[in-house]
């Protein structure tokens, strides 16, 4: 990280009590990995990833980040036709900074480090602009929100004592805690505070207080929960683990958390919600070194979709609208609607580039029961629905399909719960029990749901007479 800090930066002065750079960024730590350019259109990799390929994907994301900073950081994006596409400049700036912190964990790759430096140089001006300074000054309860990019850059070695001084004033003000936050947002605040100083090893052994109140410590509503609930989960995990740079102890066992992540992943893949799918997939590299069969398959789907589209797409990018625009308007629309999901793929690749965290190319088939997949698949084929994952599934060998029968079960349980098809839900649980797949949090919640529905049925029947 000293290397990054040695670049000419705005008011760059070494601070006392600043955190060390992420491991592996010091000069000499480089593996001199050369990454290649993004493949030409339709040059889709048949067998997509290894460490070098993940670095290439991350650099591609960082290239797009340069454009996002140039075009969106000054004024954001305002869409008069679809206000849902509006992007505040603070959001782009903060998310870019977060991406850089995540990418710094893979900076032993020369290309990644060079890309991080380029984007950071562009970001400094916006992260410490008058707008951000005034925001931190006038709204002390939101000071860390305005200072997020500044704090991230500080972690990367780009210091600014003047901004620090103002931030300290705001953080010592009476109104500092004047904004009430949900637990994962409280974790974000703790994470930012930790970014201002070197974390003590002993502090990493404890679970952050906010994490105890978060969904990391309580089961999600896996069948009927909202997207926001999954966001709360993924964000809490990101902040508690600090992209594996300074990970805290989690409030529950990793296996329990990953079992719930697997259910959320199933839903996101089935709904082609790749922004959230990539965030959920972070759970594996951020908590341990092994990827479950379902997680490995999930990464396979995302990598293939990214290869085919040229970026990991979101539903917000509409081609009809895009094709109605020209020039800078067109590029701004494309960036504004696409950049976030693109960034999340970058976060995932950065996490997967950490030593031993690369997702396996082959899906493990250990302990697989033959015929499991087809038994569950019959429930899915009743729905007129073809998500991208099905293409990848059809390419798997029979044993690999059976290895992800649990993922299929999670997809089916979610679908039937949403459709309120309680009869099918019951049948699914029976089959899952026979196949030895019922010991999952989604199956358990489905059983509870059926029990409640039965109670309601008994309770309401006499009243409707």
Partner 1 sequence: MSARVNHQDVVKRLLDTKAVDFAAVGKAVAEFGPSLSLADEPWEGFCGTMRTFFHCFIINPGLGGTTVESLGALRGAAGELQS
Contact between 395 and partner 1 per CB under 8 A: no
Specify the stretch interacting with partner 1 by CB under 8 A; choose among 202-210, 242-250, 257-265, 418-426: 418-426
Going residue by residue from 181 to 200, which x/- string records binding to partner 1, judged by CB under 8 A? -x------------------
Eight-class DSSP state of 37 = P
CB closer to partner 1 out of 39 and 355: 39
Q: How many helices (H) and strands (E) in the chain?
A: 24, 0
The DSSP-derived string for 133-199 is: HHHHHH-GGGHHHHTHHHHHHHHTT---HHHHHHHHHHHTSGGGG-S---HHHHHHHHHHHHHTSPP
**Of 248, 174, 255, 172, which is closest to residue 212 (Cα–Cα)?**
248
Q: Rule CB under 8 A: choose which of 317, 358, 372, 445 binds partner 1.
A: 317
Specify the stretch interacting with partner 1 by CB under 8 A; choose among 157-165, 348-356, 414-422, 448-456: 414-422
**Of 127, 109, 153, 123, which is closest to residue 21 (Cα–Cα)?**
153
Structure tokens belonging to residue 87: 């992007």
**Of 152, 246, 144, which is closest to residue 200 (Cα–Cα)?**
246
**Max Cα-Cα span within the chain:** 80
Specify the stretch interacting with partner 1 by CB under 8 A; choose among 60-68, 293-301, 363-371, 373-381: 60-68
Q: Rule CB under 8 A: choose which of 338, 363, 375, 380 binds partner 1.
A: 338
Structure tokens belonging to residue 116: 């991080």
CB closer to partner 1 out of 161 and 315: 315
Contact between 387 and partner 1 per CB under 8 A: yes
Specify the stretch interacting with partner 1 by CB under 8 A; choose among 112-120, 311-319, 393-401, 429-437: 311-319
| CA 190, chain centre distance (Å) | 19
Contact between 48 and partner 1 per CB under 8 A: no
Site for partner 1 in 62-91 (CB under 8 A): 63-64, 67, 83-84, 86
Helix (H, G, I), strand (E, B) or coil at 77: strand
CB closer to partner 1 out of 199 and 310: 310
* Site residues for partner 1 per CB under 8 A: 38, 41-42, 60, 63-64, 67, 83-84, 86, 182, 270-274, 305, 308-311, 313-315, 317-319, 322, 330-331, 334-335, 338-339, 342, 383, 385-388, 415, 418-420, 463, 465
């Amino acid at each position: 990280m000293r290397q990054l800090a040695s670049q000419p930066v705005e008011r760059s002065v070494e601070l006392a009590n600043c955190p060390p750079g992420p491991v592996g960024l010091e000069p000499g730590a480089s593996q001199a990995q050369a990454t290649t350019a993004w493949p030409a259109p339709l040059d889709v990799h048949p067998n997509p990833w290894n460490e070098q390929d993940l670095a290439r994907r991350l650099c591609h994301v960082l290239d797009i980040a340069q454009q996002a900073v140039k075009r969106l950081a000054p004024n954001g994006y305002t869409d008069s036709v679809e206000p849902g596409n509006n992007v505040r400049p603070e959001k782009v700036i903060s998310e870019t900074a977060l991406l850089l912190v995540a990418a710094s964990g893979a900076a032993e790759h020369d290309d990644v480090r060079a890309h991080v430096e380029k984007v950071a140089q562009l970001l400094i001006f916006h992260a410490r602009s008058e707008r951000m300074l005034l925001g931190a000054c006038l709204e002390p309860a939101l000071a860390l929100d305005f200072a997020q990019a500044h704090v991230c850059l500080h972690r990367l070695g780009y210091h600014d004592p003047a901004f620090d001084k103002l931030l300290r004033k705001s953080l010592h003000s009476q109104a500092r805690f004047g904004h009430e936050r949900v637990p994962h947002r409280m974790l974000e605040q703790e994470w930012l505070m930790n970014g201002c100083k070197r974390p003590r090893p002993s502090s990493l052994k404890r679970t952050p207080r906010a994490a105890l109140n978060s969904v990391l410590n309580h089961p999600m509503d896996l069948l009927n929960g909202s997207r926001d609930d999954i966001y709360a989960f993924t964000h809490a995990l990101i902040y508690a683990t600090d992209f594996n740079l300074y990970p805290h102890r989690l409030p529950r066992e990793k296996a329990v958390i990953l079992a719930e992540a697997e259910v959320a992943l199933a839903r996101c893949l089935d709904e082609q919600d790749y922004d959230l799918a990539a965030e959920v997939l972070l759970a594996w590299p951020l908590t341990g070194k092994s990827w479950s069969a379902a997680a490995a398959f999930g990464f396979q789907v995302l990598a293939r979709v990214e290869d085919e589209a040229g970026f990991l797409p979101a539903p917000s990018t509409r081609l009809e609208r895009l094709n109605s625009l020209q020039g800078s308007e067109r590029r701004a629309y494309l960036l504004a609607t696409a950049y976030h999901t693109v960034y999340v793929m970058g976060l995932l690749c950065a996490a997967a580039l950490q030593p031993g965290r690369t997702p396996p190319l082959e899906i493990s088939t250990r302990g697989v029961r033959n015929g499991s997949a087809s038994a569950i698949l019959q429930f899915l084929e009743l729905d007129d629905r073809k998500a991208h994952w099905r293409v990848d599934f059809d390419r798997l060998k029979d044993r690999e399909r059976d290895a992800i029968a649990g993922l299929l079960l999670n997809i089916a349980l979610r679908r039937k719960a949403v459709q309120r098809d309680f009869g099918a839900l019951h049948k699914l649980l029976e089959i899952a029990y026979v196949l030895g797949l019922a010991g999952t949090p989604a199956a358990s919640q489905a059983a509870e749901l059926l029990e409640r529905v039965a109670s309601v049925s008994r309770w309401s029947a006499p009243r409707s007479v």
